[in-house]
Structure 1
């Protein structure tokens, strides 16, 4: 997922929405809590003023009429409680609703509250509003009297908790709907990118030669540049091949003339024989170096070549060349055996390896091709005498041959090794079930 552009956008969006809606939920609950507590404070202030307005001092005591503004004062444990105390918490009056409550004297009294002042406090269980006045209650001496109104927090806490759950559910549902909408938007927005990737895949498979279709403005320059790159790369490869072919022709013609002139000379002349050998060697070296120069490197824009098609093309040539030997050729090629690269590289490899197999065999040559573990394997078997274990690595080296009786400089297998190596593969030699040798070629299978 982190490696996917679509996945990154979705992941980042989900994180952002989670943070955003969590913040919104927190702020909404805080605002709701503040508003409901502000409403409670105003209500307690009103009830406190009512108590203050109806309170009467009589016989060293304070009395309150039974009929109060809020009937909850007269209902047992209603959640609204009224008290009149001195600064030490000594009770002068309490509402009927608070008769069964046992409160701390420090909570009822307040030495810190000055005359004419008030405060709103809240603890774990109550919202409290207190107001201080100076009255002559006992012995006609002024003393600090505190009017207190308490409201139980249980019901308010339940409202806040219910609101938190409700807002959480609605915001979660909204977040899910937004994520789904975002997914649809991203799917629609990235559709041109997926189409571009599909077109490039067709080019990789060799089905298409360039990127087609209409794309958004942001991708048009990219598709144009990619098409130019593909076209330029193919033209450049063709130009290289053509130039090297011309070079080969230009060099081989003078060498052919030299060889012909030397053949007309005295063949018994030692210097002539040496010149013939060197001219032949120069010809082989030119071929080898030109072949090495045109070895292509595999890339995702390489053409797709069916191995079976290339084998059919080259098989006919060997049947004509080795007609007198009567070689029986057979092949087992899987349908997914595709060579990702230049067809000339594949033909060069098959030509060299099959030529060696036809030369070495007694009468049978077999070719197998299959794909396994992301590699294309090509096996060429023969029923000849095989290759000794100690010679298998040596014959793949430049200028070394297992059979020194025939013509050649031992360059063919070196070219094969170079071409296969350029495709991140390797050449191995083993014993064939036919009795001779098997050359196993592996090429990286680019999908």
Structure 2
């Protein structure tokens, strides 16, 4: 469906163009009619001059050429002609007709008759004819004609001028439609920006900042913002309460199984099953938290601060195992993710890297085009080529030689997907083992969380 801006622009442009086309047609028709009227009046004036001259030379019509003086009448086929038909049928013409004659109406009208015909040279001419009766009672046919070339040239010049004018008017109309659309939709653009800003700042919109037509919508948005904040806060609180409620029973079960194991009972399978239950519960709770936070929350987290804390923690853990960790993070780097969520993602990935590396792990974070990139690498065996999809599967474990449930990576993926972020498994260029590349977009985008496995 077209946006309001496009609809307004297209509607305004079509309306402006329709108005301009109608106006151009009406104006051009009016101007051309006026030009033709002026041409006919000039032709009628020359006809009157010829009639006056004829009245004084009716006894000797050959003197008409001297009485009606115009250089155009003496130049053959000049485009300006006159012709007089006497009572006896003799025809007297201007020199410009040479040896040709003008066609006259068959009904010999007594009033002025205007029409367009072919001239002596084949070019179109405009002729005016009238049958008149002089004072002596003699009846004469008087015709005056002029080439339509000048009229056609004037019309073409008028059309060119009007075309240029209406092109400029059309451009001004389009610019006006764009300006009007931008002005009208400005409050809606401001509302969109303010909704994102106020959501992050946990504030409501001020109704008086918008036109009265938008004010009811602003009130509804304020109500939705408040309701969504309450729903998200309540859901996250319930997830935290559930995690706390389950933590104690699982701890008791683990202690009981450990005591039985210490009494020479084989509790290995039970402990592994409990580990998987803990992991699955952790993943489900992470999903619940992400589903009620995610990209909709528009929360910003200081990633640089989180990376510093992970550097201190995992450097110490690596040192105890005779390993090392290097970190490279851009200063004052922030992302659109909840702090608890991004730290759970990085923690799980660093824990896997430390578990599988031979001697070194690396964490890098930088600003890139469109968002933030996090790269976690190790010098371990990595993932065999072509088995990356299997490793990303829920609970996928390619090697069971080390303890774990295989759900750490799945939990990280669930949390990242809630924010529209991407995770890719690659071969580390610098360390030779596994490289986990995370891209977190700078702007939120619509996402759909996968169904629980």
Name the TM-score, length of structure 1 as normaliser: 0.75
* CA shift in 2, pair 1:276/1:62, >3 Å: closer
Q: Give the alignment partner of residue 255 of structure 2, picking from 260, 266, 291.
A: 260
Partner residue in 1 for 2:276:
281
Deviations 1:73-127 (A, max 9, x none): 9974597543223799x64323xxx21423644x3344x2246465211245432
Partner residue in 2 for 1:121:
115
Distance 1:148 1:228 in 2: 87
Q: Give the alignment partner of residue 146 of structure 1, picking from 141, 159, 175.
A: 141
> What pairs with 1:417-432 in structure 2 (closer than 5 Å)?
417-422=413-418, 423=420, 425-431=422-428
Q: Is the 8 A contact 1:430 1:438 kept in 2?
A: yes
- Residues paired across the two proteins, number: 430
Q: Please identify, of 185-194 and 429-438, the stretch whose mean Cα deviation from structure 2 is larger.
A: 185-194
Partner residue in 2 for 1:85:
85
Distance 2:36 2:10 in 1: 39
Distance 1:163 1:300 in 2: 62
- Is 1:22 paired with 2:24? yes
Q: Give the alignment partner of residue 216 of structure 1, picking from 201, 211, 215.
A: 211
Q: Give the alignment partner of residue 440 of structure 1, picking from 437, 440, 443.
A: 437
Q: Measure how far apart 1:378 and its partner are.
A: 1.8
Q: Is the 8 A contact 1:73 1:80 kept in 2?
A: no
Q: Is the 8 A contact 1:83 1:148 kept in 2?
A: yes
Q: Is the 8 A contact 1:303 1:342 kept in 2?
A: yes
Q: Measure how far apart 1:128 and its partner are.
A: 1.0
* CA shift in 2, pair 1:103/1:376, >3 Å: farther
| Structure 2 SS opposite 1:108 | coil
| Structure 1 SS opposite 2:114 | strand
| Structure 2 SS opposite 1:294 | helix
Partner residue in 2 for 1:32:
34
Deviations 1:153-174 (A, max 9, x none): 4555555455555555555555
Q: Measure how far apart 1:271 and its partner are.
A: 7.9
* CA shift in 2, pair 1:399/1:118, >3 Å: closer
Q: Measure how far apart 1:65 and its partner are.
A: 6.5
Q: Please identify, of 167-176 and 339-348, the stretch whose mean Cα deviation from structure 2 is larger.
A: 167-176
Deviations 1:178-223 (A, max 9, x none): 666665555544443443454456569x578665671222333344
* CA shift in 2, pair 1:344/1:54, >3 Å: farther
Runs of 4+ in 1 over 6 A off after TM superposition: 63-67
Distance 1:445 1:174 in 2: 43
Q: Measure how far apart 1:349 and its partner are.
A: 1.1
| Structure 1 SS opposite 2:210 | coil
Q: Measure how far apart 1:252 and its partner are.
A: 2.9
Q: Measure how far apart 1:260 and its partner are.
A: 3.3
Distance 1:293 1:134 in 2: 109
Partner residue in 1 for 2:447:
none
Distance 1:54 1:352 in 2: 120
> What pairs with 1:319-338 in structure 2 (closer than 5 Å)?
319=315, 324-325=320-321, 327-334=323-330, 338=334
Partner residue in 1 for 2:236:
241
| Structure 2 SS opposite 1:295 | helix
Deviations 1:36-66 (A, max 9, x none): 144235435634654675564x6xx866767
Deviations 1:370-422 (A, max 9, x none): 35564643211223454454765444333343553444322112212333445
Partner residue in 2 for 1:311:
307
Q: Is the 8 A contact 2:307 2:329 kept in 1?
A: no
Distance 2:99 2:169 in 1: 46
* CA shift in 2, pair 1:100/1:260, >3 Å: closer
Q: Is the 8 A contact 1:203 1:301 kept in 2?
A: no
Name the TM-score, length of structure 2 as normaliser: 0.74
Q: Is the 8 A contact 1:211 1:227 kept in 2?
A: yes
| Structure 2 SS opposite 1:218 | coil
* CA shift in 2, pair 1:432/1:133, >3 Å: closer
Partner residue in 2 for 1:351:
347
Q: Is the 8 A contact 1:192 1:215 kept in 2?
A: yes
Q: Measure how far apart 1:17 and its partner are.
A: 6.1
| Structure 1 SS opposite 2:97 | coil
Q: Is the 8 A contact 1:21 1:171 kept in 2?
A: no
Distance 1:99 1:390 in 2: 102
